Amino acid sequence: MEFPSKILENAVKSISTLPGIGKKTALRLALHLIYDQNGKAELLSQSLIDLKSKINFCSSCHTISDEYLCHICTSQSRNKKVICVVESVRDLLAIEDTGQFSGMYHVLGGVISPLDGIGPEELNIDSLISRIQLGYVEELIMALSPTIEGDTTIFYITRKLNQPDLRISTIARGVSFGGDLEYADEITLGRSILSRVPYAGND
Amino acid sequence: MEFPSKILENAVKSISTLPGIGKKTALRLALHLIYDQNGKAELLSQSLIDLKSKINFCSSCHTISDEYLCHICTSQSRNKKVICVVESVRDLLAIEDTGQFSGMYHVLGGVISPLDGIGPEELNIDSLISRIQLGYVEELIMALSPTIEGDTTIFYITRKLNQPDLRISTIARGVSFGGDLEYADEITLGRSILSRVPYAGND
C-alpha cells in the first residue's frame, strides 16, 4: 500500500509492531486517531510514556506495582505461607481474577529455555529462593506451562531449594470443566486419564 | 479486574478506547510494551503525537498529505478530468490499492446524515463544487455508501452543481466476483437483478 503521508506511514509502522495488530488494523487505528476530536492520541501517547518511565516492579514478588512492594505482598489478609509461582504478570492477573487463591505470588519472568537463551540467571529464581529461606513458606504452587521448559524450571527450582519439608505442588491439568472429551487435545486427554482422581461422590 | 498498578490501569483504559480493542487485548498490549526492550513504547508514543500535530490535509482533495497538495493532486500522470468522490481517506486508499483508477479524488469527510448532526456544511462539498466550476472536470464518480445518507448526498451534490454537461456516475454494485449467490444479502441480489447488464460475450 502506498501511503499519502510519511507521518501516517510511520504511525502505521509503529502501531503494527504490536502483537496481533496487522497493517490494515494499524491504518484503521491511525485514521481513527487523526479524525478523533477528544484528545485520544495525546492521552494514549502520554500513558505509553508513563508506562515505560514510571512503572515499578514489586521488589518481593516482581509483579507490576506503583510502590516498592505490591498490594498483594503488603496485604494483611493473605496467606503468607503459600507462594504461587507464575511465569508472567498476565498469569498472576488471571489467577487473581478467579478469586480462588489468597496466598502470595512470585513472578519468574519466563521459564528456563536454553534455545531462546534464557537461563536460570535471567529469571527471578534467586529471589524466590531467598524468600523461601526466610522460613515462613510451607507450600510452593508451580503454575507454569506444561512444557519441557516449564518442567525443567520446576525441576531446577526444586533441586536448588533442596528443602524436603517444603510442599511443592503443580496446578491440576486435565479436560476443562464443561469441555467435551471429543474436542480435548490428545495430550490433555491422555494425561487426564493417567492422573485420574478418586471419585468423591460417595463421601 | 483489579490492576496491581494505577499507571498500568490508565494505559489499559487509554488503549481500550481504540475501536475494536477491548480490555483484555489492551492489557496484553500494555504488558508487551512494559517488557519490550526495543523502545517500542517511546517510538509509538512519538508517532502518535506526530500524527496529531504534524499531519496535514491536501487543500484540494482533502486527503491526508504532508504537503499543501497531495501527491495525487500534483501528479502529472493522472487524469484531471475525472474526480472520484469518496467518504473517507480509507475509501480512497482502498480504491488506490486496486490500481484501476487513475483520476483525481475528493474526500467528503462523511455523508449527509441529519440524525447524526452532519449537514452539507460539515462536509467538503463547497470545495468540490469550486473544483468543478473551474471547468476542467468532465466526470464525477460517486463512490459513496449505498445507503439513504449516501444517496441523499449524491442527490444534494447533483442538484447544487446543476451542470447538465457533467457526467455523474456511481460505482457498480452487485454480487461480488467469486461470491456465491446463496450467500449474497437480499438487497444486493435483488438490486443486481434489477440493474442487470447486457451479456457482452457475443461481441
Buried/exposed B15-42: b ≥16 CB within 10 Å, e otherwise: bbebeebeeebbbbbbbbbbebeeebbb
Q: Do B11 and A50 touch (CB under 8 A)?
A: yes
Give the tens place of pLDDT for each residue, A158-171.
999 888 889 999 88
Give the tens place of pLDDT for each residue, B33-79.
998 888 899 999 999 999 888 889 999 999 999 889 999 999 999 99
Q: Which of B90, B43, B108 is nearest to A3 (CA)?
A: B90
State mean pLDDT over B85-107: 91
Which pLDDT score, from 0 to 100, does residue A201 have? 66
Which pLDDT score, from 0 to 100, does residue A203 have? 55
**Model confidence at A189, in pLDDT bands (50, 70, 90)?**
confident
State mean pLDDT over B126-140: 92
- Distance, in Å, from the CA atom of A59 to the CA atom of A67, rounded to the nearest integer, reads 9
Q: Assess contact for A11 and B48: CB atoms under 8 A.
A: yes
- Percent of chain A's residues with pLDDT above 90: 60
Among chain B residues, CA nearest to A27: B90
Residues of A in contact with B98 (CB under 8 A): none
Give the tens place of pLDDT for each residue, A95-146.
888 888 899 999 999 999 999 999 999 999 999 999 999 989 999 999 998 8
Which pLDDT score, from 0 to 100, does residue B10 have? 92
Q: Residue B202 above 70 pLDDT?
A: no
Which pLDDT score, from 0 to 100, does residue A97 have? 87
Residues of A in contact with B13 (CB under 8 A): 47
State mean pLDDT over A171-188: 82
Q: Residue A179 above 80 pLDDT?
A: no
Which pLDDT score, from 0 to 100, does residue A176 have? 83
Q: Which range in A99-113, A186-200, B183-197 is most confidently predicted, on average pLDDT?
A: A99-113
Q: Do A10 and B40 touch (CB under 8 A)?
A: no
Residues of B in contact with A28 (CB under 8 A): 19-20, 90
State mean pLDDT over B153-177: 88
Q: Do B45 and A43 touch (CB under 8 A)?
A: no
Residues of A in contact with B18 (CB under 8 A): 29, 32-33, 40, 44
- Distance, in Å, from the CA atom of B129 to the CA atom of A159, rounded to the nearest integer, reads 80
Q: Do A49 and B51 touch (CB under 8 A)?
A: no
Among chain A residues, CA nearest to B58: A4
Among chain B residues, CA nearest to A110: B35
Cα angle A43, A44, A45 (rounded to 5 degrees) comes to: 90
Q: Do B93 and A64 touch (CB under 8 A)?
A: no
**Model confidence at B201, in pLDDT bands (50, 70, 90)?**
low
Q: Do A90 and B52 touch (CB under 8 A)?
A: no
**Model confidence at B176, in pLDDT bands (50, 70, 90)?**
confident
Q: Assess contact for B29 and B15: CB atoms under 8 A.
A: yes
Q: What is the pTM of this model?
A: 0.79
State mean pLDDT over B109-125: 93
- Distance, in Å, from the CA atom of B136 to the CA atom of B83, rounded to the nearest integer, reads 10
Residues of A in contact with B22 (CB under 8 A): none
Q: Do B17 and A1 touch (CB under 8 A)?
A: no
**Cβ neighbours, 10 Å, residue A164:** 5
ipTM of the complex: 0.81
Q: Assess contact for A107 and A124: CB atoms under 8 A.
A: yes
Q: Do B89 and A31 touch (CB under 8 A)?
A: yes
Give the tens place of pLDDT for each residue, A42-69.
999 999 999 888 889 999 999 999 889 9
Q: Residue B145 above 70 pLDDT?
A: yes
Q: Residue B130 above 90 pLDDT?
A: yes
Which pLDDT score, from 0 to 100, does residue B162 have? 85
Which pLDDT score, from 0 to 100, does residue B203 have? 55
Which pLDDT score, from 0 to 100, does residue A196 have? 78
Q: Residue B196 above 60 pLDDT?
A: yes
- Distance, in Å, from the CA atom of B141 to the CA atom of B105, rounded to the nearest integer, reads 9
The one-letter code for the residue type at A63 is T
- Distance, in Å, from the CA atom of A114 to the CA atom of A128, rounded to the nearest integer, reads 20
